[in-house]
Structure 1
Amino acid sequence: MSIERKHSTIKKALLFSGLSTMVITSCASYWLWDRLNSALPLLNGEVNLPHVENEVVIDRDRSGVPSIIAQTRMDVSRAMGFLHAQERFFQMDYLRRKAAGELSALFGESFVSADKEARLHQFRKSARQAYESLDVRHKALLDAYVEGVNAGLEKLDSTPFEYTLLQASPNLWQAEDSFLVSFAMFMEMQGHDYRNTLYLNKLRQNLPQALVDFLVPLGTSWDQPLDTQHLAAISIPSAEVYSLKSATDTSQDILALHEQADSLYTMALQDSPSVAGSNNWAVSGTNTKSGKALVANDMHLNLNVPNIWYRVGFSWHEADEDRKLTGVSLPGLPLMIAGSNTHIAWGFTNSMGDWSDLLRIPADKGQELVTHITQRIDVKDAEPVEYVVDVTPYGPVVEREQNGDLLVLRWVAHSSSAVNLGLLEVERASSVDTALPLFNNTHMTHLNVVVGDEQGNIGWTMLGALPKRAHSVWAPIDYDDKEYDWSGYLTTDKYPKRVNPKSGFIFTANARVVSGDELDIIGRENYALGARAQQIHNGLRVMHEPSEAQMLRTQLDSRAIFLQRWQYLLLSIMNEEFMAKYPELAEYRKIVNNWNGKALKDSTGYLLVRAFRTQVARRVFSGILSGVNESNPDLNVFDYFSLTSQWEGPLWKLVNEHPDHLLNTHFESWQALYADALTFLNDHFNNTHGSIANAKWGDYNKVAISHPVAGALPLIGRFFNIPEYGADGDINMPLVQEQSFGASMRMGVTPGEEQSGFFHMPVGQASNPMSPYWMAGHDDWQKGVFSPFLPQETVYSLKLLPAESKE
């Protein structure tokens, strides 16, 4: 064959191949386009539904926010179920499967470990029991919701597109599934707390108790509880208690740090797993221009496509009174989670309390108390997996110690009393005084609730079942130790509460809220660092006639007040003598000296100060914990940062007092430790960005919000995600923002004046990229633009009609 003919053949083959690829891609794109369009929700017209009692109108604005107008609360429940199924059924299914340990059947082998973890808790059994325990009214409203869900799923032209991509079919919704959604939130907020107790147990097995108390303090000087009582600081243990001079050398740990510089530096910008928490506060009518309370809330969670919340407004007529609520719902539940009912407004934060214990059962008692339950885990495209769960009358076995003793998890979430539909009663509350006990009777994951009313009153209390116990404990205890026994749950009159404090405002931010006996009720351990709460408190204290706009500005506050003292420390370290020894750090010091004191995406100074603190922390604590990590090879310093958010307390004392006996033995002096951290960072930034001035906070604080099925679409999956971008904000300030973690919503509202309120929600309402309101509202959230709390002008209108009115 001639060269010319050969080239011609190759060209034809390439052309044919290219055309074939285009045809295949076009066909696949058209198929996906068709699947997406056929799975869109009904927006206009009329639809007949079984069980609907009277005509229900669902008006949507241009952002897809629905207003349900019904004659009864039962029909509101049906309409909510219908909407949730039409727009968010896959999300609902994901949450019920997460709690039940059934994700592998949908996604495959990669989820088997997660399913095994969930099966420990037997939530499906507890969900059935919770449903059977409902009173007549709540059971009827949940049944109506289930009717709406399954009707909404049936009225789609095709199943939600995620199932098409996964080659699966959805199962109908059952009443117990709604409680699985509640248990999924327990897992999100508290599911790994017991792992921290396991790690703390290892610290106590390897270190003197005085050193453990120092490393894991109950609080710091940043605490800002509502009662203003501060805990005494713990002194650094003396060399007689513990000294690294006689401990194993940690040079190998530091060597590994440098050998894996790139990967570890990426981790260095995340001090610990994000605290699943939030901000909320209320300002009393004595401070506002209207004389009514003003409530603000931004709940921080992992961010996904779609958003975990679904915005909704609904109204009905009851007992000669018109009821109207606006806020956010959680698909899977017939409830208004946070919002306003025109008389009160409310919002939540994670309480961060202690709601579980680890009980130690001696090895010789194990055989008597343990029952083996074999679980079958169905796995997509693979054989089922058999998993044996060891349970006791006190809870599941989560670890076996070297001597054969069993550690058993006792957790509030294991009780069917842990979940109910108490928020249905809050809907009808007309004041703070009537609302607080209703919140106490609401059982779901434990939350701080802040509430304000149209009379100007404000209050705080707890939501969730609180165990009746003498005090909490953060260490394994003997299973038969009566001192730490639980004897049921507290009645509402025993819950901590605050109403109308003299300051005129109430706030929470996942940090410690109370002290003394009340702290024993909630638990003394594992709170978020108080820096965020303190910054909110100080801002509210100086506000004059706060407005909704001021509430939004506070939520967007990115001032780095927490890191100011680290900037001062860093400049004092980089003095004239130090700079003479390390002249290559001159640019580093200049930028730190001129920082703007804010966590802005374009800030180099903030990045340099923040990165210095994290690198110093790693060098300090990897030395102190070297013996623990050598005895437990599966552990490292990052487990410590996961254990406690209070590590700033011991770190700050160490870098100010420079105890020679706790200095990482790889370094000759504390100054050498600082120099090592700074030269490491200087080299990293120069090598990665060309120059240190080119490195920006936004290069590392990149927001990445993705859809769970995007990975199944290698060519076009990215179109289901939010394009990655650098963002302002950080952890220890009101504007909480990390890579895939941040404000899942923001609101500020005065009950009775909802038209003046604002609302933000990332990603928006829709889960289907072909929706006319796909990503509507996301830009307002991202840019901090004031956007209305209430649904706006109607663009789409749908009627749900009783089946007997069918033409």
Structure 2
Amino acid sequence: MRRKILQLMLVIFVVVALLVVVASFWGYATFKSSLPVLEGEVQIPLLKESVTVYRDSMGIPQVVARSETDAYFALGYLHAADRLFQIDLTRRVATGRLSELLGPSTLYIDRYQRMLGHYRLAKKFVAQLDSQDRERLQAYLKGIAYWVKHTDALPFEYLLLRKEFKPYTMEELMSVLSFQTWFANYLQSSDTRFLQIAERLGREKAKDFEKPYPVWAPFTVPQQNQFSLQTWLFKRYFSEDLLPYHMAHSSNSWVVAPQKSASGFAMLASDPHLETRRLPQFWYLCGLHVNAANLHVLGISTPGLPFTIMGHNGKAAWAFTVGGIDVSEIYQEKRHPQDSTLYFNGHKWYRCQTLVDTIYISGEDEPYILRYKQTENGPVIWTADSMKADYALHWAGFDVNLAKSVQAAFRLAKLDNFEDFRRAVTSFGALDANWTYADIRGNIGYQLGTPIPIRPFKSTKLPVPGWIDSLKWQGFQPLEKTPHSLNPQRGWLATCNNKQDDANLDYPLMGKFAADRILRISELLSQNRKFSVQDMQNFQMDRVDRYHQRWQKILLGVLRQNGRYALADRLKKWDGSMESDSREAALVMLFLQNLKKYMLEDELGEQLKFLFDDRFEQIYLQGPDDYFDDLRTKDKIESREEITNRALQTTLEQWQDRPWGEFLTLTMAHPFARVPLLSNVLNLKYGPIPWGGSEATLNAAFFWEDKQNPGHFKAIVGPSWRFVIDFSDPDQASFVLPAGISGNPLSPYFFNFFEYWKSGKRWIVPISPEKIKQRAKLTLKLTPMTDRE
């Protein structure tokens, strides 16, 4: 009997094993069938004429067509073929429909996006598109739809989620455009977090977490009567008694004029910083070429939108960083004491508009019914019942014409001069962006593209009484009064999320500005020499952190006070390098992170991770002593010295003379990498690997503490592409992506750029047709049925 049971168990095991093998082969074959055709010929009856797609050995596509509509059809086809799931996720985030795909865990995102109303804005402005823009967008949408309908299999994510791709509509595309302009501001804006801090600590204490742009920090636009920047930087920045305030978030771009260029032509360098831990990465690099329409453009787009948002057309180049301008306002509404649907507008009680949305949730039988209020100031995003107050958000995106944003986005591809550039980038809706420009004629320029609200008050980040008419915005600053610069005498312009201008303006520029990376690039570009393409590329890889050398000085004093003289002498020699092998970098950064936690974790809780080092420094050096008292210890009051020494002790225990790369690591992973077997089969995760840099280095690495491993950090944001062009030869423009052009892990182009990105190596992508053909390794011809007949 026992023998029969063992035989039966063996048979069952063999059958199960065979089923697993068959299922694995079936799954792998299905996944493989989702790969797009990359060469040969595909018959597409929707095309007017043939389109050729050339790919180089790294998989970068270049579209050559005879009409714009065919070119944009092909771009939609390529976006779908390489990044369909990314398109789907982005449109679902923008329209508040992510939970339909991923379940209840994303409901909070859907609720917020529904309240913001990107889809409502899209529906309003779709009807205002001009005929040419509508035709281009429709062609792009048709390209996506055609690939989806005729592919052998959708990307593997749909198979695992057991979902289908629903048609991508014009309203959704416009919603994504609105969302992207909002997201740029969201990266820098702290309005909502500041409101939460004010609710937690009170309005007066919340003011401690504000700060003005520091007097020592450079601006993008050269200032009137400015003396030698290089001397100024070294004297002011390295002085013993001045400590800079630090604010950081993403993105660098700079331009160099012919007189500072080794080639004698203008140069542009760009490396926007976005999340780098998720695969696939954000941008899609592609070229579009239509001779009859004077369209030759090469650069990056967002899958789901047909615009080359950064790049060049052989005659001009453009790029942007996040501006940091405050383009939103939180208004406190006065609620009626007996009726919460009534609010006071300064003259009489008005009834809020009550909006109702239905959110469908994967795995749930019943949808979530979202009811929210909207006042004349905007949607109510926060309610404080104890104060009988609602907080409404007003965003500049509610005041601009989204159809004109589409028009401006298409105009970028054909830029020819600085004035066209200025008009285009300042018509980009509510996109909060610093734009840099260079052209083949030798011009360099800068323009702040953000709509700048005209406020009748000084912004404090605290809620504004919504019932006082005199505190409402009074329109936006006109083009001639916005920060801009053309061909400055010094021969260069740079933007690293720093403040744009001051002396040239007759109004205060309000917002959240970084003052760290601009120090380093200003130091490098102020050198009395001419720069090459290699210099530009080296600067993008630079990991010298001038800001945290300020904390080096603070830590030196603490070490000496604690009798650690040998270590202090060693730290004094640190040159600011944040490379992964730097032990001094690890010491400084660990001390700073521990000091933050011991000082303010009791006050801020989870909000502490959003507190950047500049604001913390201000509180540490100038704030009231009660911030040093740990509220969790009721029987004692901690002093500044006690908290500082406690941070030092913890730091030394953690550090143990190890390099920065043992504390900071980088991992890139697809969201489905959490499925163990699938992750191993498809190679969905890379890392962790030792990493270097900080938010203050040009080769930036923004990081958060690893909750499972205190004292260790995960790099989450870094350069999302690198681009350098010297107009002495536009065909030699260099690019690099963090991972690859494809979102399919079975594609050879899924992760093929990583070693280039990691090491600083670049990939040359030409723009002229003959050079494109010479470098092509794969050629795909999209042919209308009339060609075959």
Match of 1:199 in 2: 196
Q: In the alignment, does 2:772 pair up with 1:793?
A: no
d(CA) in 1 for partners of 2:160 and 2:449? Answer: 39
d(CA) in 2 for partners of 1:454 and 1:228? Answer: 23
d(CA) in 2 for partners of 1:671 and 1:526? Answer: 31
d(CA) in 2 for partners of 1:334 and 1:400? Answer: 38
d(CA) in 1 for partners of 2:535 and 2:620? Answer: 33
Contact 1:552 1:748 in 2 (8 A): yes
Match of 1:252 in 2: none
Offset at residue 214 of structure 1 (A): 4.9
Match of 1:35 in 2: 30
Distance 1:431 1:27, change over 3 A: same
Distance 1:492 1:28, change over 3 A: farther
Contact 1:278 1:299 in 2 (8 A): yes
d(CA) in 2 for partners of 1:29 and 1:296? Answer: 46
Q: In the alignment, does 2:717 pair up with 1:722?
A: no
d(CA) in 1 for partners of 2:615 and 2:500? Answer: 19
Contact 1:361 1:405 in 2 (8 A): yes
Q: In the alignment, does 2:501 pair up with 1:514?
A: yes
Match of 1:133 in 2: 128
Contact 2:220 2:498 in 1 (8 A): no
Match of 2:513 in 1: 527
d(CA) in 2 for partners of 1:668 and 1:399? Answer: 34
Deviations 1:453-477 (A, max 9, x none): 1111111112244445446622211
Contact 2:103 2:363 in 1 (8 A): yes
Distance 1:673 1:489, change over 3 A: closer
Percent identity among equivalent residues? 24
d(CA) in 2 for partners of 1:552 and 1:21? Answer: 55
Of 665, 669, 674, which residue of structure 2 is paired with 1:702?
A: 665
Match of 1:352 in 2: 324
Deviations 1:702-738 (A, max 9, x none): 1122223333565436722323212121111101124
Of 227, 251, 261, which residue of structure 2 is paired with 1:288?
A: 261
One-letter code of the match for 1:292?
F
One-letter code of the match for 2:433?
L
Of 252, 255, 260, which residue of structure 2 is paired with 1:279?
A: 252
d(CA) in 2 for partners of 1:676 and 1:748? Answer: 46
Match of 2:282 in 1: 308
Offset at residue 743 of structure 1 (A): 0.7
Contact 2:255 2:266 in 1 (8 A): yes
One-letter code of the match for 1:532?
R
Distance 1:204 1:219, change over 3 A: farther
Match of 1:185 in 2: 180
d(CA) in 1 for partners of 2:626 and 2:673? Answer: 51
Match of 1:550 in 2: 535
Q: In the alignment, does 2:451 pair up with 1:486?
A: no
One-letter code of the match for 1:313?
G
Offset at residue 553 of structure 1 (A): 0.7
Of 752, 756, 762, which residue of structure 2 is paired with 1:776?
A: 752
Distance 1:216 1:804, change over 3 A: same
Q: Number of residue pairs matched?
A: 727
Where does structure 1 lack aligned partners over 5 or more consecutive residues? 231-270, 580-584, 630-634, 686-691
Match of 1:689 in 2: none
Offset at residue 295 of structure 1 (A): 0.4
Match of 1:461 in 2: 447
Contact 1:358 1:477 in 2 (8 A): yes
Match of 1:123 in 2: 118
d(CA) in 2 for partners of 1:73 and 1:472? Answer: 47
Match of 1:642 in 2: 610
Offset at residue 435 of structure 1 (A): 1.6
Q: In the alignment, does 2:454 pair up with 1:475?
A: no
d(CA) in 2 for partners of 1:227 and 1:434? Answer: 19
Of 606, 613, 623, which residue of structure 1 is paired with 2:592?
A: 613
* 2:735 alignment partner, SS class: strand
Q: In the alignment, does 2:57 pair up with 1:62?
A: yes
Query: Normalising by structure 2, what TM-score?
Result: 0.86
Match of 2:70 in 1: 75
d(CA) in 2 for partners of 1:668 and 1:277? Answer: 36
d(CA) in 1 for partners of 2:671 and 2:269? Answer: 30
Q: In the alignment, does 2:629 pair up with 1:664?
A: yes
One-letter code of the match for 2:666?
V
* 1:780 alignment partner, SS class: helix
Of 377, 380, 385, which residue of structure 2 is paired with 1:397?
A: 380
d(CA) in 1 for partners of 2:528 and 2:612? Answer: 32
Match of 1:413 in 2: 397
One-letter code of the match for 1:556?
M
d(CA) in 2 for partners of 1:756 and 1:744? Answer: 20
Offset at residue 754 of structure 1 (A): 2.2
d(CA) in 2 for partners of 1:48 and 1:464? Answer: 44
* 2:272 alignment partner, SS class: strand
Task: Tell which deviates more after alignment, 472-481 or 530-539.
Answer: 472-481
Match of 2:40 in 1: 45
d(CA) in 2 for partners of 1:543 and 1:175? Answer: 52
Contact 1:222 1:531 in 2 (8 A): no
Deviations 1:377-416 (A, max 9, x none): 1111112111112122321111223221211111123346
d(CA) in 1 for partners of 2:550 and 2:39? Answer: 58
d(CA) in 2 for partners of 1:541 and 1:789? Answer: 30
Q: In the alignment, does 2:423 pair up with 1:426?
A: no
* 2:259 alignment partner, SS class: coil
Of 698, 702, 722, which residue of structure 2 is paired with 1:734?
A: 698
Contact 2:519 2:546 in 1 (8 A): no
Of 740, 748, 751, which residue of structure 2 is paired with 1:764?
A: 740
d(CA) in 2 for partners of 1:79 and 1:20? Answer: 46
Deviations 1:714-773 (A, max 9, x none): 543672232321212111110112422111101111246223322110111011122132
One-letter code of the match for 1:151?
Y
Distance 1:730 1:382, change over 3 A: same
Offset at residue 50 of structure 1 (A): 3.4
Distance 1:343 1:645, change over 3 A: farther
Q: In the alignment, does 2:368 pair up with 1:381?
A: no
* 2:116 alignment partner, SS class: coil
Offset at residue 221 of structure 1 (A): 4.9
Deviations 1:422-470 (A, max 9, x none): 1211222212233222221222521110001111111111224444544
Of 210, 213, 223, which residue of structure 1 is paired with 2:217?
A: 223
Offset at residue 62 of structure 1 (A): 1.4
d(CA) in 1 for partners of 2:49 and 2:141? Answer: 17
Query: Normalising by structure 1, what TM-score?
Result: 0.84
Contact 1:37 1:770 in 2 (8 A): yes
* 1:390 alignment partner, SS class: strand
d(CA) in 1 for partners of 2:13 and 2:723? Answer: 51
Deviations 1:525-545 (A, max 9, x none): 3222x1111111111111622
Q: In the alignment, does 2:97 pair up with 1:114?
A: no
Distance 1:645 1:724, change over 3 A: same
Task: Tell which deviates more after alignment, 509-518 or 423-432.
Answer: 509-518
d(CA) in 2 for partners of 1:595 and 1:604? Answer: 9
Contact 1:38 1:157 in 2 (8 A): yes
* 2:666 alignment partner, SS class: strand
Offset at residue 345 of structure 1 (A): 0.7
Match of 2:486 in 1: 499
Contact 1:396 1:409 in 2 (8 A): yes
- C-alpha RMSD over aligned residues: 3.0
Task: Tell which deviates more after alignment, 152-161 or 376-385.
Answer: 152-161
Of 536, 559, 578, which residue of structure 2 is paired with 1:574?
A: 559
* 2:764 alignment partner, SS class: coil
Offset at residue 24 of structure 1 (A): 4.1
